[in-house]
Amino acid sequence: MGLFNNIFGTSVTSQTTRTSTPRHNSSLSGPGKEASLNKGDILKGEVTDLRSNEVTLRLNDGRTLHAKLATAAELAIGQETEFLVQDSDESLIVLKLLSDSDSSFTESAIDKALESSGIPKSQQAVSIVRALLIAGLPANKDMLRKMMQYSAANRDVELSTLTTLLKSEIPVTRTNASQLQAYRNFEHRLLSQASTLTSSIGSALRFGEASPEFAVSLLASFFPEEAPTLPVTTASSDSFIYKPDTDRQADSLETEIISRAASDAEPTANAFPAQTNPSEVSTASAVFQKDSGMPLTSLLSEPQNKAINLLLEELSAGFPEEPAFSALQSMPERTAQQLFSALASFGGKNPSALASLLKKEPVLTELLDKTLLSGFVLQPEDLEKEDAVKTFYEELNRTLAKMTELCKESPSSPALKTATDTAGKMQDNLSFMNSLNQLFPYIQLPLKMTEQLTHGELYVYTKKKDLSAQNKEVSILLHLDMDSLGPTDIHVSLLRQAVNAQFYLPDEESASAVSGQLSELTTALSQKGFLLTAGVSVRTKEAERITDLLTGGENVPMKRFRFDIRA
């Protein structure tokens, strides 16, 4: 079995069948039931019912709470004890039983810490001491004063977020605190931020907020007549992504598993991507050009393509001195790259005319939005190419810097102000992701599937030095947010020719859909010489993986190594 078993508290079986886990709903009733329970709260009450890993409590304030236990505990009906609220949302409350020693620290240890530090007892001071103790950090005078300063500077950030940064030795800055809070709240997705960025730029052009010079510079920067080719680079020890030399066969298999798992949700994507020569390097420019280099007939609807045909007809007649428009009109298949390159050349001579055209023709700004967004995503087959992800992120940094520079040229535009702010948040996101990567191997993978753009995250659970060892298990977790399946987690472990894949889906319908595809995956891998055992489970809730990894909880990977795309 792999390293990921029971990470979500669900039963995993090594077979190509679906197993299910009963759903759990927490409830709070009685006087004052509207008062919410927050993560980190301490509850006191009497156990009135016990069923498997669920408990019902009569709290000291008269309310009745039905909740889930985080771990197995020796409890008896009628017992009075204390619990820590380990997790809390609208439908699920998870409690951790506090031992006698834990219970004593919730009162006496807090009082002693405040007394010895000379800090007056207050609700905020008590909360800070409790957060430090729960995180396993010292509650001495220096740490308390430091936490009070951090808390005052980050009033909208949970104390547990601040202690997580402290414990992980990540600088406690407002940017890092905001980023970790966003990761914990699942608001960190680069793909969502990129969508906001590109749509804001499109809105500014569509409603005439941007200057003509901005329109010309934008098209000239991202749709040059000849797309630049980036030099081939190799990873260094301080690169964003470290890429050691590992077994190529394992590399191919793991990439295929990722690609296959992602494409199982798409009825038309039923084959693995072709193998790529190891010497081929995917530059971010090539990634960006994938959509812009595709025929417009495959990118746009039939009415939109008709609108483009009419537009080119008008431009050819109205501007005979621009041969590019006539050439485009006569092409049976034209691309976004060719169209916007021609418009950029035209705008260089007629900036106001270009701005008016983009404002008048919504099909152009819709196509521009879609094409620019394609520069912020990878395709599954890109993962097979050496340095594809590394180069993608390097180019993404440059793209964001360029977009920020362009947007700042029109400071009076509300839409471009939004674009500038969003680009800044994305750069902060990349910087924070790089900090996380120094602690454990993790990276976001914004992906383009057959019919949709998908947020992905990849975690590697194996030491870098073990990746090339034949007797060491390589384990990864791929998280995908699929339109058709919902949040999907795929745990994959590989030991020589044995592959174990466990799929965690949000509901029975999604689990059933994936179960129906497992036999095809098993056959495809067996033809390549691999033995697959796979299972599908319905999970109870989405885990806070980043927080769990940083705090060093159970089932976490080894720390202090870098991300390796081959894993």
Structural domain range at position 120: 101-184
Report pLDDT for 389: 83
Q: Could you tell me if 40 and 106 lie in one domain?
A: no
Q: Is the dihedral of CA 219, 220, 223, 228 positive or negative?
A: negative
Q: Could you tell me if 84 and 50 lie in one domain?
A: yes
Residue-by-residue pLDDT tens, the chain, 567 positions: 332 222 222 232 333 333 333 344 667 776 655 567 777 778 888 888 877 678 899 888 888 988 888 776 667 777 788 888 888 776 788 888 876 545 555 677 788 888 888 888 888 888 898 888 878 788 888 999 999 999 999 888 889 899 989 988 889 999 999 999 888 888 889 999 999 999 999 999 999 999 999 999 999 999 987 543 333 333 333 333 333 333 334 444 444 444 443 333 333 333 222 333 333 323 334 434 556 778 888 888 999 999 999 999 999 999 999 999 999 998 988 999 999 999 999 999 999 999 999 999 999 999 999 999 988 988 877 777 777 888 888 889 899 999 999 998 877 899 999 999 999 999 999 999 888 887 777 888 898 877 678 888 888 765 544 545 556 677 888 888 887 888 888 888 888 888 898 898 888 898 898 888 888 888 888 888 889 888 898 876 666 677 767 765 444 443 322 333 322
Report pLDDT for 149: 93
Q: Could you tell me if 52 and 114 lie in one domain?
A: no
Owner of token pair 């890429």? 243
> Is 466 inside any structural domain?
no
Question: What token pair was written down for 192?
Answer: 């969502």
Q: Could you tell me if 93 and 77 lie in one domain?
A: yes
| Domain boundary, last residue among 159, 184, 209 | 184
> Is 167 inside any structural domain?
yes
Pairing mode of beta strands 42-51, 54-59: antiparallel
> Is 39 inside any structural domain?
yes
> Is 90 inside any structural domain?
yes
Q: Could you tell me if 141 and 161 lie in one domain?
A: yes
Q: Could you tell me if 124 and 57 lie in one domain?
A: no
Residues in contact with 81: Cβ distance below 8 Å, sequence separation at least 6, in sequence order: 44, 45, 47, 75, 97, 98, 103
> Is 3 inside any structural domain?
no
- The domain spanning residue 54 has which CATH number? 2.40.50.140
Q: Could you tell me if 106 and 92 lie in one domain?
A: no
> Is 124 inside any structural domain?
yes
pTM, rounded to two decimals: 0.66
Q: E strand or H helix at 147, and its extent?
A: helix 141-153
Structural domain count of the chain: 2
- What does 220-269 look like in DSSP terms, one character per residue? HHHS-SS---PPP----TTSSS------HHHHHHHHHHHHHHHHTTSTT-
Report pLDDT for 220: 92
Report pLDDT for 464: 47
Report pLDDT for 11: 30
> Is 392 inside any structural domain?
no
> Is 79 inside any structural domain?
yes
Q: Could you tell me if 132 and 177 lie in one domain?
A: yes
Write the single-letter amino acid at 51.
Answer: R
Q: Are 368 and 375 in contact (CB under 8 A)?
A: no
Q: Could you tell me if 107 and 135 lie in one domain?
A: yes
Report pLDDT for 442: 83
| Domain boundary, last residue among 82, 97, 112 | 97
Q: 494-499 — which CB contacts under 8 Å span 24+ positions? A: 494/250, 494/253, 494/254, 495/471, 496/470, 496/471, 497/529, 497/530, 497/531, 498/530, 498/531, 498/533, 499/253, 499/257, 499/525, 499/530, 499/531, 499/532, 499/533
Q: Could you tell me if 73 and 110 lie in one domain?
A: no
| Domain boundary, last residue among 184, 203, 233 | 184
Report pLDDT for 72: 66
| Phi, psi (degrees; rounded to nearest 5) at 95 | -115, 145
Q: Could you tell me if 85 and 131 lie in one domain?
A: no
Q: Could you tell me if 85 and 105 lie in one domain?
A: no
Report pLDDT for 545: 72
